[in-house]
Chain A
Amino acid sequence: MVENNSSWIVIRRLRLPILIIIVTFAISILGMVLIPGQDSEGNVYHLSIFDAFYFVSYMASTIGFGESPYDFTYPQKLWVSFIIYLTVIGWFYGIGTIVALIQDEVLHKEMVKSKFAKAVRNMDESFILIFGYNSVTKALIRKLNQMETRMVVIDRDQQAIDALRLENYHPLIPAFSGDVFDPKVLEIAGIRKKNCRTAVILFEDEQKNTRASLMCKHLNKRMNLIVRSTSPQNSEFLETIGVEHIENPFEVISNRLYLALTAPNLWLLEMWIYGHLLKIKEREVLPRGIYIIYGYGRMGRALEKGLGKAGVEYRFMDAKLSLREYDASDSLYHEDEIEEKLIAAGIKEAAVIIAATRDDLINLAVIALSKKHNPSIYTISRENELIDLQIFKAARINRNYILDEIIINKTYNYLSMPLVNIFIEYLNHKDERWGKSLVDRIVTKMGENPNLCEIRISAEEAYAAVHELEKGRTITLEMLGRRREDYRIKNDLLFLMILRDGRPILLPPDHFEIAVGDELLVICLEESREDLEYILNNYYELYYVMHGKEKATGISRYLIT
């Protein structure tokens, strides 16, 4: 149970002011009651307790309606002039304390905290807990928000949280600035809640990631974790503690290079999922020959695996040695040394240069120097920071791998399009011929830029179909692929994969019968997607494509048939 501290702070701070007000009021009222006055006829008169309370109340609050019920005598006036100062000071002290309390930093923090805790508590849908608000998670949040996925964000930096609030996301994303390694903060962020489905931990610092994932695993065992990790040892450890999904951009790059070298069409299919056209451009064809890799770090080691598997000749150059000794006086980035190294590695007869250091400027320098010595060389670079995108674009690099972007796309797919992720996994087991035929099939049917969509055969997403299936009717994929305007014409769509009971079925045949609970991955166009959704959800449309005639209902059923 998360405590609500803000009301306690208010009560505690107001103790003394209220005490002072009570005591001063009590003294004043008692004095007013005891001191004798005179009524209009000159008789001795005592104020009743109620009269006194009434008078003191409006006097202390400086409202001041005048002397009541009769004009005061001098002894009374003497007492009143004393208690004016007594009660008014007490009153102002009380008000001053309340005003100071409103501006109080501690109270403000507590109020923000309880507001955040309440927002998280009130969330009934499943949500994703996101660690840190930076350029990577920002892009991810923006994409997920469009799908109306609920999220909670925590970051150590208050400014980052303020920036998130300014974005005005809808549905609302509760955000809180606090130590992300503090279990209490995680608890307020709802980590123990049943509907906290996934946590996304994508810091650049591997240690931070490991620490955060360990804590998450201890606080909530059922939660899925998506963690960025680039070193093999670290990834192994994360797997031991049961992290579901490890984001390693270097492995992705290595795998893509391998696919591009051995099966360009499979590579094309994967890239198409991330928004590439279904067509291999000329500058994307990787040449054969010697590959020179500048930088033997985490990326270099990952590339070694991919290139080795593809059977390409490669040479590594260690970027470390020279760059350890930075010397600002002669050349900031040791261009001479880079150049010497490149020549020594044989840049003149190399086919491809891969600049794979963790410094974007050095990568750019390597590319520029390689081009100087070998104008026809094929260039591949690694871009570490998303901000440098314009510079890399201007450098006319043949293939640019942006780490942040890879992570964003991969994570987004994992979270919102699980079927696509399974499909990509499958690509690795297929061969070039299979890929080529699939690409040709898609392109001839739907052009070079078709969409992908995921549909689940459930009451929410396929109302009519579920109803028919429950009645025992059979619906085949071929039926779903018919057009709404004429059932004899085939629609422009392709059922790429069906997931049934956790088992994927790649390219199911036309006579495949769907069942409730199936998940379909469909390649379609805007129009055919609309058709498919109508057919699955609307009785009349479904009946028409199944039987080729209109469904008759009500009285007309008896009249027509």
Chain B
Amino acid sequence: MNMNKVLSGFFFILAMTLNFGFFYGTPEVLAEHSKYELFAAIVVNLIATIFKFGDKTQVGSVLLATSLVADIQLIASASVWALAVYGLDAMDTEMSVAIISLSGGALLANITSVVIFVGDTLKSKR
């Protein structure tokens, strides 16, 4: 068992599941989406990004790229939320849908990342 693989796999998959947890639910109703879950998703995604740093292989670069995409999408989602509440003072359906759909994009990136990770692990002979 490779401890490094366990740790990084744990964070990659946790990032995806948290992301999904936040994304799941009616997009128009913000009450169905926990802000704590979004916070956790951002933190875990950032940690997952760090784990992908410094891998010079081809697969490593693609993994890092997907992670960066997920980070940007999630941070954008949180920023829209903060902007809607404090900046515009108007949390309407449009804003709510924007927040959720941004996190949906991040979810796609996270799924890609996990698929590549699992595929690479299966290919490995050790």
Q: Does A29 contact B (CB under 8 A)?
A: yes
Of all chain B residues, which has the CB nearest A5?
Answer: B56
* Docked complex Cα distance between A23 and B35 (Å): 18
CB contacts (< 8 Å) of B46 on chain A: these are: 22
What residues of A have a CB within 8 angstroms of the CB of B115 in the complex?
none
Q: Which of B12-20, B47-55, B93-101, B102-110 lies at the interface with chain A?
A: B47-55
Task: For residue A295, give the distance in angstroms from its CB to the closest CB of chain B.
Answer: 58
CA distance A29 to B40 in the complex (A): 11
B54-A15 in contact (CB<8A): yes
Please state if B54 and A11 are interface contacts (CB–CB under 8 Å): yes
Which residues of chain B from 38 to 78 have a CB within 8 Å of any chain A CB?
Answer: 39, 43, 46-47, 50, 53-54, 56, 78
B53, A12: Cβ atoms closer than 8 Å: yes
Complex Cα distance, B50 from A377, in Å, reads 83
Q: Is B118 an interface residue (CB 8 A)?
A: no
Interface centre among A8, A15, A23, A49 (most CB of B within 10 A): A49
Question: Which secondary structure dominates where chain A touches chain B?
Answer: helix
Expressed in whole angstroms, the minimum distance between the Cβ of B71 and any Cβ of chain A is 11
Residue of A with least CB distance to B50: A19
Q: Does B82 contact A (CB under 8 A)?
A: yes
Q: Is A18 an interface residue (CB 8 A)?
A: yes
Q: Does A135 contact B (CB under 8 A)?
A: no
CB of A192, distance to nearest CB on chain B (Å): 23
Do residues B54 and A30 form an inter-chain contact, with CB atoms below 8 A?
no
Alpha-carbon separation in the docked complex, A50 to B75 (Å): 12
User: In angstroms, how far is the closest chain B Cβ from the Cβ of A83?
Assistant: 15
Interface range, A side = 10 to 19
Question: Which secondary structure characterizes the binding site on chain B?
Answer: helix
A4-34 CB contacts (< 8 Å) to partner B: 8, 11-12, 14-15, 18-19, 22-23, 25-26, 29-30, 33
Q: Tell me, yes or no, whether B85 is within 8 Å of chain A by CB.
A: yes
Q: Knowing A12-B53, A14-B53 touch, does A48 contact B85 (C-beta < 8 A)?
A: yes
Q: How far is the CB of B73 from chain A (nearest CB, A)?
A: 17
CB pair B56–A23 under 8 Å, yes or no, is no
A43-73 CB mask vs B (1 if < 8 Å, else 0) is: 0000011100000000000000000000000
Per-residue interface assignment for chain A, residues 383 to 426, with 1 indicating a CB less than 8 Å from any chain B CB and 0 otherwise: 00000000000000000000000000000000000000000000
Chain B neighbourhood of A25, CB < 8 A: 43
Is A22 within 8 A of B85, CB to CB? no
Contact B50 A50, beta carbon cutoff 8 Å = no
Nearest to A54 among chain B residues (CB) is B82
Q: For residue B50, which residues in chain A have a CB less than 8 angstroms away from its CB?
A: 15, 18-19, 22
Is there an interface contact between A8 and B56, defined as CB atoms closer than 8 Å? Answer: yes
Least distance between A124 CB and chain B CB atoms (Å) = 30
A22-B43 contact in complex given A11-B54, A15-B53, C-beta closer than 8 Å: yes
- The CB with the most chain A CB atoms within 10 A, among B35, B53, B56, B85, is that of B53
Tell me the bound Cα distance from A15 to B82 in angstroms. Answer: 29
Please indicate the chain B residues that have their CB under 8 angstroms from the CB of A11 in the complex: 53-54
Chain B residues with CB below 8 A from A50, complex form: 82, 85-86
Minimum C-beta distance from B84 to chain A (A)? 11
In the complex, A11 Cα to B86 Cα: how many Å? 35
Provide the bound-state CA to CA distance between A164 and B82, in Å.
57
**Minimal beta-carbon separation of B110 from chain A (angstroms):** 17
Residues of B within 8 A of A19 (CB): 47, 50
B58 to chain A, nearest CB (A): 13
Question: Which residues of chain B are within 8 angstroms of A33 by Cβ–Cβ distance?
Answer: 36, 39
Q: Using Cβ atoms and an 8 Å threshold, which residues of chain B touch A12?
A: 53-54
B82 near A30: Cβ-Cβ < 8 Å: no
Chain A contacts for B43, CB-based, 8 A? 22-23, 25-26
- Bound-state CA distance A509–B45 (Å) is 84
Q: Quick check: B56 and A30 within 8 Å, CB to CB? A: no
A422 to B39 alpha-carbon distance, docked (Å): 79
Report the minimal beta-carbon distance from B114 to chain A, rounded to whole angstroms: 20
Neighbour of B39 across the interface among A15, A23, A49, CB < 8 A: A49
CB nearest neighbor in B for A19? B50
Closest to B47 in A: A22
Q: Which residues of A contact B78 (CB under 8 A)?
A: 49
In-complex Cβ contact of A49 among B35, B47, B53 (8 A): B35
9 other A-B residue contacts (CB within 8 Å) besides A12-B54, A15-B50:
A8-B54, A18-B53, A22-B46, A23-B43, A23-B47, A26-B43, A30-B39, A49-B35, A50-B82
Closest 8 CB pairs of A and B: A12-B54, A26-B43, A50-B82, A19-B50, A22-B46, A11-B53, A15-B53, A11-B54
The 22 sampled A-B contact pairs (Cβ below 8 Å) are A11-B53, A11-B54, A12-B54, A15-B50, A18-B53, A19-B47, A22-B47, A22-B50, A23-B43, A23-B47, A25-B43, A26-B39, A26-B43, A29-B39, A30-B36, A48-B85, A49-B35, A49-B78, A49-B82, A50-B82, A50-B85, A50-B86
